[in-house]
Amino acid sequence: MKKIIRIGISACLTGRKVRYDGGHKRDSFLTDVLGKYVEYVQVCPEVEFGLGIPRESIRLEGEPENPRLVGIHTQKDISSDMREWAEKRVRELEKESLSGFIFKKKSPSCGVRQVKVHTKQRGVVKTGMGIFARVFSEHFPLMPTEEEDRLSDPEYRKHFVKSILHFNIQ
């Protein structure tokens, strides 16, 4: 009997309209190609946390190692509540037997690398990691993770698939 390969994925990448503007970022490779061989466990941190659709855009501010997550217009800081929610959600994901996770690039909740972190100095932007992606990676340090844009590169794609297959047999 084959073991089902279960992969966590940012829900917007599957075509679900969960983005701040009511849109999606469906990725045809992930849905039409890889999706034939894996079962996705969809996560949208912002919607699951309780932010509506559409909603105010949020961004990271402060220091990249410990950024604040704030509304662009209201400046409402939801950092600690989002971290608390993320810690609970990753504990729930333990039960899903995931073999990897595909995150949405540049997202203040899901981005793994190159997420903009706005500093107090006007015009100075650093890079960091999204709040949920950071909590997930700290909780599952050995699990393969990737951002969707890097999977358009055949070498990154091949490496990720090998990694999830290897992780799946452990």
Is 15 among the domain residues? yes
Domain range for residue 136?
Answer: 6-55+80-107+129-169
Q: How many domains does the chain have?
A: 1
Q: Is 62 domain-assigned?
A: no
Tens of pLDDT along 82-105?
A: 999 999 999 999 999 999 999 999
In a domain, 70, yes or no: no
In a domain, 61, yes or no: no
Q: What is the pLDDT of residue 110?
A: 98
Would residue 89 count as lying in a domain? yes
The secondary element (H helix, E strand) that includes residue 165 is helix 154-169
pLDDT confidence band for 75 (50 / 70 / 90): very high
The residues facing 54 across adjacent strands are: none
Kindly state whether residue 150 falls inside one of the protein's structural domains: yes
DSSP string, 103-143: EPTT-TTT--S-EEEE-SSTT-EEEE--HHHHHHHHHSTTS
The answer to whether residue 22 is domain-embedded is yes
Q: For the chain, give the mean pLDDT.
A: 95
Residue 13 lies in a domain: yes
